[in-house]
Amino acid sequence: MSAWFGDHQVLLDVSLTMPAGQVTALIGPSGCGKSTFLRILNRMHELVPSASLAGEVLLDGDDIYDAGHRLIDARKHIGMVFQKPNPFPAMSIYDNVIAGLKLTGVRASRDEKDHLVETSLASAGLWKEVKDRLRAPGGGLSGGQQQRLCIARSLAIKPRVLLMDEPCSALDPTSTRVIEETMGELQKELTIVIVTHNMQQAQRVSQQCAFFLASQGQPGHIVEHGDTDAMFDSPIDPRTYDYVNGRF
Ligand code: ADP
Ligand code: MG
């Protein structure tokens, strides 16, 4: 796919398969279009008035941009977690977890909601810490807990894909470790795509990796992608070698 903001092309011929059951890491310098790529994957890109796109996004073979594919379907199947944890601060932990249900048109009984809140928080690695204070505001949690609350909120809609845009950049190492462990469990049931500037994190959590670059007037594109270990151990492109080894 290729993408633009007005006349400014930000992605050029990006083509990537992100396999189910695996974590795919997107790496590359700031401004090379990683966040734009993620937003295209869940149809947030089209919310920017100047934004345009050429290409397709196939989810199990169906193009989410097809006329028959509604925005709400993309929202149901594709969850997203951002760099800055963004729970609704005044809303209770419980209500934060189920906040996505209404947006995606899912109806649930009280018992179903209770169950969903517990399972989503457990999958996000937060249940034990908050089960006695589900009515407390989400904004009262620590940064790492808030990010796991946001993961739980994404999981409550039972997505098939979880997109994570630098989810640990604002977190301390301990919270980061908890989230990485959570990802290890979640990937068994989900396709996970993570943008990270932390090369060790990319190596720890991902099986596939794609290196994005925008250079000398060239829009963001993928220089190299493939098996994470291979890409870090023996990158093919010298620019990948320099980037993963911290040489600029
Ligand atoms: P990354 O996540 O790799 O840092 P981004 O996807 O955020 O890169 O940005 C890619 C390019 O698109 C940058 O040149 C950025 O300035 C531009 N861009 C991002 N969002 C917008 C927007 N809403 N309007 C115009 N340009 C944008
Ligand atoms: Mg970004």
Q: What is the pLDDT of residue 51?
A: 97
Tokens coding 184:
């290890």
- Calpha distance 210→14 (Å, rounded): 10
Q: Is 35's C-beta closer than 6 angstroms to any atom of ligand 1?
A: yes
**In the predicted model, what is the mean pLDDT of residues 172-195?**
93
Query: Atom 16 of ligand 1 has which residue's CA nearest to it?
Result: 31
How far, in Å, are 25, 120, 186, 229 from residue 202 at the CA level? Answer: 6, 24, 16, 10
Question: What is the best residue among 10, 34, 38, 53 to mutate for testing ligand 1's pocket, by most ligand atoms within 8 Å of CB?
Answer: 10
Chain centre distance of CA 171: 16
Q: Residues 6, 11, 17, 20: is their CA dihedral positive or negative? A: negative
- Phi and psi at residue 129, in whole multiples of 5°? -75, -25
Q: Is 33's C-beta closer than 6 angstroms to any atom of ligand 1?
A: yes
Question: What is the best residue among 9, 26, 36 to mutate for testing ligand 1's pocket, by most ligand atoms within 8 Å of CB?
Answer: 36
Whole-number mean pLDDT of the chain?
A: 94
pLDDT digits (tens, 9 = 90+) for 216-248: 889 999 999 999 999 999 999 999 999 999 887
CB atoms under 10 Å from CB of 60, counted, come to 9
- Calpha distance 178→191 (Å, rounded): 19
pLDDT digits (tens, 9 = 90+) for 53-84: 999 999 988 999 988 888 888 888 999 999 99
Contact 213, 239 (CB under 8 A): yes
Query: Atom 2 of ligand 1 has which residue's CA nearest to it?
Result: 35
Please identify, by atom number, the ligand 1 atom nearest to the C-alpha of residue 29. 3
Q: Residues 42, 2, 222, 86: is their CA dihedral positive or negative? A: negative
- Calpha distance 68→60 (Å, rounded): 15
Q: Is 58's C-beta closer than 6 angstroms to any atom of ligand 1?
A: no
Look up residue 141 and give its amino acid: L
Tell me how far apart the terminal alpha carbons of the chain are, to the nearest angstrom: 28
Q: Residues 136, 153, 99, 163: is their CA dihedral positive or negative? A: positive
**In the predicted model, what is the mean pLDDT of residues 198-211?**
97
CB atoms under 10 Å from CB of 198, counted, come to 17
User: The pTM is what?
Assistant: 0.95
Which SS3 state, helix, strand or coil, does residue 25 take? strand
